[in-house]
Structure 1
Amino acid sequence: MAKIHYIYDTESCKYVRDERSTSDIILNTMMFLSVTIGLSVGLILLYTNYFESPKELLLRNDVREIEFEIAELELRINTLNTVLADLTYRDDRVYRVVLGAEPIDKSIREAGVGGSARYDDIRKKQFAHKEAIIKLSESIDKLRRKVYIESKSHDEIVQLAVSKEKLFAAIPAIQPISKNKYTLTSGFGNRFDPITHIFGPHPGIDFAAPSGTPIYATADGVVDVTEIAFTGYGKKVEIDHGYGYRTRYAHMNAFIVKVGQSVKRGELIGYVGSTGHSTAPHVHYEVFINRAQVNPIYYFFNDLNPTEYAKIIELASVENQSMGM
């Protein structure tokens, strides 16, 4: 037996029998369900459009972190490029100028790192910030190439510096006798020979000093001549310094080096004497560059101040009598 339903009539303020049919009830129920579903869908759409799910929040945070890291990497690359640019400037404008080398051509430093297909594997992938990743990769590859070129340049500079150091050591840059222990009696050029009484070329400088005064090598090198003679240069030593430089020390009382011996600038090689074609104790000193005799006075820059150098230039320029060959 079907249950009888009563509803409250607001007009009569009484409970009256519900006379609605089954179809009306079903229709009302369907309308209620439709409204409920509509509201539910609206709420879901509202939530999804204005509120992120935990997974979306996590992904968004990951994307922001990636964007931050990309920005940081770009900043570091820019900083490294600035540092590298400073190294490049000093390489080309300072180190190579000092060492007498040509700067590296700009086209070599700015050369590319490959064709456009180099990053195709990245372009084929589908992910956010793809172009930023490609740009970052290009910057890193360019920086890597520049660093490689600069490292090779520095290797070359080191070799140039080592070679330059050896060259500087090979230049006869000091006097063969300690200053204040000699008198410069005859310079380079035409002089009067006290023995032959002929006015002619004097291919070196005469340093008069007491017999036995130490004589020093004026540059690094290898002794390749030691000779004893009763005429001419008397007892003499010749040193090959390399790079075309050569020195000769003559009229020595004695020498303490032998052929093949390596010597350093300032190393003792013998003593002042008056052997050979000589009138008094002195050392006759000559300098050769590529087998040509040159004025030794131009190389005394390591142990003389400007005033002392000007004085020795003045003394060496006087056309006086030599003390021997």
Structure 2
Amino acid sequence: MAKVKYYYDPETLSYRKIEAKKSETLKKSVLWVLGAMLIAFFGFIGFSQFLMSPKERTQKRELENLQLHYELLSKKMEESSNILTELQERDNNIYRTYFEASPIPEEQRKAGFGGVNRYKHLDGFDNSEMIKNVTKEIDVLSKQMVVQSKSLDEIVSLAKEKDKMLASIPAIQPVKNEDLKRMASGYGMRMHPILKSWRMHNGMDFTAPTGTPIFASGNGTVKKAHRSSTFGKVVYIDHGFGYETIYAHMNKIVAKRGQKVKRGDLIGYVGNTGRSAAPHLHYEVHKNGRPVNPIYYYYGDLTPEEFVAMQKASQQKGQSYD
């Protein structure tokens, strides 16, 4: 029962009952109703999870867990993509360059997937976009890894062949000639000693006494060992990897056709056979079927100073010995 309040009226010298105004009563009623509604609302929010069924609570936890794992997976895929990009750059700019292999085109590495409806089967879920994005990222990353894996397999194969290639490329002088002034003629246009006309001299002439040993300048197989009207007694060695060497005007051939030789093996002796003006060795290096300057293939034999001296001597134009 509500308490009744009174006030003292000095005019009547008596206590009168305090009457509540209707506006005040209405105001209090509204505030009371609003307060009750707020309490009910927040109470519902606070206890809503207790009102969920066990299945709903499980699904809610799974969704939260899925979102967390998605964020972690996205971060890991980004890190993996960065590592793969760095590996691709090293692959193209270091590994493939070192082994003289063509770089893999960017279009091949970054090629996408065909078909606009490739991920249509992932539509219709609450988190379809999230699932589709993750699936696309995984597909792209997987394809790039396949391309890179094949590239590394090729690099491994090239690396295994590298030692063989280095041993096969011509790298030493075919005659042991300490006096570089005895190199009679270099690569280029020279006056032919017999035909008396300027002709392209495709090799280098080393003057040496008859019987001076001649050595293979790299590992390979003797392709020819015979006598010709121009080169006289001559040996051709196929070194593989596009390289071939020719040793002409020999006095005696030691190597046999089909024989496997190694760099430094004796293959014959200096002579004056064929179209030759004096005892010497005419030596040629061919790359992919074309003659090249042999001076660039003595790196296993000459010091930088000796190379410069030989280069100067080889550039002197004059008469060749064949």
Range class of TM-score, shorter chain: 0.5 to 0.7
Pairwise CA RMSD: 4.1
Q: What is the one-letter code of the residue matched to 1:184?
A: R
Q: What is the one-letter code of the residue matched to 2:74?
A: E
Question: What does 1:176-215 correspond to in 2, within 5 Å?
Answer: 176-178=174-176, 180=178, 184-188=182-186, 189-190=189-190, 193=193, 201=199, 203-209=202-208, 213-215=212-214
Distance (whole Å) between structure 1 residues aligned to residue 129 and residue 72 of structure 2 = 16
1:227 to 2:226 alignment: yes
Distance (whole Å) between structure 1 residues aligned to residue 63 and residue 83 of structure 2 = 30
Is the contact made by 1:88 and 1:150 (CA closer than 8 Å) also made in structure 2?
A: yes
* Number of the residue aligned with 1:304: 302
Distance (whole Å) between structure 2 residues aligned to residue 302 and residue 192 of structure 1 = 30
Aligned to 2:205, the other structure's residue is in SS state strand
* Number of the residue aligned with 1:122: 122
* Number of the residue aligned with 1:270: 267
Distance (whole Å) between structure 2 residues aligned to residue 109 and residue 291 of structure 1 = 34
Is the contact made by 1:183 and 1:209 (CA closer than 8 Å) also made in structure 2?
A: no
- Kindly state the Cα deviation for residue 81 of structure 1 after the two structures are TM-superposed: 0.9
Larger Rg: 1
Distance 1:144 1:244, change over 3 A: closer
Aligned to 2:235, the other structure's residue is in SS state strand
Distance (whole Å) between structure 2 residues aligned to residue 289 and residue 301 of structure 1 = 16
- Kindly state the Cα deviation for residue 191 of structure 1 after the two structures are TM-superposed: 5.0
List alignment gaps of at least 5 residues for structure 1.
1-42
Is the contact made by 2:213 and 2:270 (CA closer than 8 Å) also made in structure 1?
A: no
Aligned to 2:118, the other structure's residue is in SS state helix
Is the contact made by 2:231 and 2:273 (CA closer than 8 Å) also made in structure 1?
A: yes
- Kindly state the Cα deviation for residue 178 of structure 1 after the two structures are TM-superposed: 4.1
1:49 to 2:58 alignment: no
Distance (whole Å) between structure 2 residues aligned to residue 182 and residue 46 of structure 1 = 101
Aligned to 2:282, the other structure's residue is in SS state strand
Per-residue CA deviations over 1:198-234 (Å, capped at 9, x if unaligned) read 57655532324466554222244432221258x8644
Aligned to 1:117, the other structure's residue is in SS state coil
Per-residue CA deviations over 1:271-294 (Å, capped at 9, x if unaligned) read 433352567764232334566555
Distance 1:300 1:191, change over 3 A: farther
When structure 1 is superposed on structure 2, of 236-245 and 54-63 the one drifting more is 54-63
* Number of the residue aligned with 1:217: 216
When structure 1 is superposed on structure 2, of 184-193 and 130-139 the one drifting more is 184-193
Identity of aligned residues (%): 34
Is the contact made by 1:208 and 1:283 (CA closer than 8 Å) also made in structure 2?
A: yes
Is the contact made by 2:174 and 2:215 (CA closer than 8 Å) also made in structure 1?
A: yes
1:256 to 2:257 alignment: no
Q: TM-score, normalised by structure 1?
A: 0.65
List alignment gaps of at least 5 residues for structure 2.
1-38
- Kindly state the Cα deviation for residue 192 of structure 1 after the two structures are TM-superposed: 7.2
Aligned to 1:143, the other structure's residue is in SS state helix
Distance 1:288 1:96, change over 3 A: closer
Q: TM-score, normalised by structure 2?
A: 0.65
* Number of the residue aligned with 1:101: 102
Q: What is the one-letter code of the residue matched to 1:121?
A: H
- Kindly state the Cα deviation for residue 311 of structure 1 after the two structures are TM-superposed: 0.2
- Kindly state the Cα deviation for residue 162 of structure 1 after the two structures are TM-superposed: 7.4
Per-residue CA deviations over 1:112-136 (Å, capped at 9, x if unaligned) read 324453333332345xx44322221
Q: What is the one-letter code of the residue matched to 2:141?
A: L
- Kindly state the Cα deviation for residue 241 of structure 1 after the two structures are TM-superposed: 3.9
- Kindly state the Cα deviation for residue 77 of structure 1 after the two structures are TM-superposed: 0.6
Aligned to 1:235, the other structure's residue is in SS state strand
Distance (whole Å) between structure 2 residues aligned to residue 237 and residue 96 of structure 1 = 34
Distance (whole Å) between structure 2 residues aligned to residue 240 and residue 296 of structure 1 = 15
Is the contact made by 1:209 and 1:272 (CA closer than 8 Å) also made in structure 2?
A: no
Distance (whole Å) between structure 2 residues aligned to residue 59 and residue 219 of structure 1 = 73
* Number of the residue aligned with 1:36: none
Question: What does 1:308-319 correspond to in 2, within 5 Å?
Answer: 308-319=306-317
Distance (whole Å) between structure 2 residues aligned to residue 263 and residue 124 of structure 1 = 71
Q: What is the one-letter code of the residue matched to 2:294?
A: P
Distance 1:141 1:80, change over 3 A: same
Distance 1:272 1:182, change over 3 A: farther
* Number of the residue aligned with 1:246: 244
* Number of the residue aligned with 1:87: 87
Distance 1:142 1:243, change over 3 A: closer
- Kindly state the Cα deviation for residue 165 of structure 1 after the two structures are TM-superposed: 7.7
* Number of the residue aligned with 2:141: 143
